[in-house]
Amino acid sequence: MRIGVLALQGAVREHLAVINHLEKEGSIVKKAADLDRIDGLILPGGESTAISWLMDEELEHRLGLLAREGLPVFGTCAGMILLADQVEGGNGRQLSAIDITVRRNAFGRQIESFETKLAITGIGSDVPVVFIRAPYITRVGDGVQILARYMPNGKATSSSLGFPVMAKEKNVLVSSFHPELTDDLRIHRYFLAMVEAAN
């Protein structure tokens, strides 16, 4: 099983390190041909506009197609913005692989970056996560399952109120936060299980 990491900008090395830690093969994706031999793909956090500008047309086209055809993909932070159908405050291009609208830099200046623990449906409770100038989800389509919510200054659980910060639609998983910056591997394990199930 080989997991690609989109490597145009952002937290690429950190995801590759987690993949290695979980004893799977990581593979860098910079151009369309790199998509040929992967079983799943992670789109890392970074700067979504920069990533979208660095993506050439062929890569963007093939990636969008593969994601819509069922390749398991996991977008974290900027990666979530790229995979979304619509973006508030965005000026890059969209892959429209998941039927959600996201708002960029949604948590505002004071709490641009913070760490917290979340309850995540299907994964567990007290999962440590890092938000860095993070987006949140403002609209989900009918087929989208919200896996976690976060309420600033409040207690967040997957069943209570709060901004949706993790979601899944079929083969597409997205999170507002960076799971690769903590030692907790449960979120990557969850994605690898999605990849295994698809193959």
Length of the chain equals 199
**DSSP structure string for 85-122:** EEEET--S-----EEEEEETTTTTTTTSEEEEEEEETT
Under rule CB under 6 A, residue 75 binds ligand GLN: no
| Count of C-beta atoms within a 10 Å radius of residue 27 | 18
Catalytic site includes residue 21 = no
Residue 196 known to be catalytic: no
Determine the Cα–Cα distance for residues 172 and 99; give it in Å rounded to an integer.
10
- How many helices (H) and strands (E) the chain has is answered by 5, 12
- Footprint of ligand GLN on 102-161 (CB under 6 A): 104-105, 132-133
- Name the residue nearer to ligand GLN (CB basis): 39 or 81: 81
Select which of 77, 115, 188, 196 is catalytic: 77
Determine which residue in the list 35, 38, 77, 192 makes contact with ligand GLN, applying CB under 6 A.
77
Size of the site for ligand GLN (CB under 6 A): 11
d(CA 50, CA 58): 17
Selected binder of ligand GLN within 18, 81, 83, 166 (CB under 6 A): 81
* Nearest-approach distance from CB 83 to ligand GLN, in angstroms: 12
Closer to ligand GLN by CB, 174 or 195: give it. 174
Q: How many CA atoms lie within 13 A of 100 on its CB side?
A: 32
Among candidate residues 15, 169, 180, 188, the one labeled active-site is 180
| Residues that are catalytic | 77, 178, 180
By CB under 6 A, name the binding residues for ligand GLN: 45-48, 77-78, 81, 104-105, 132-133
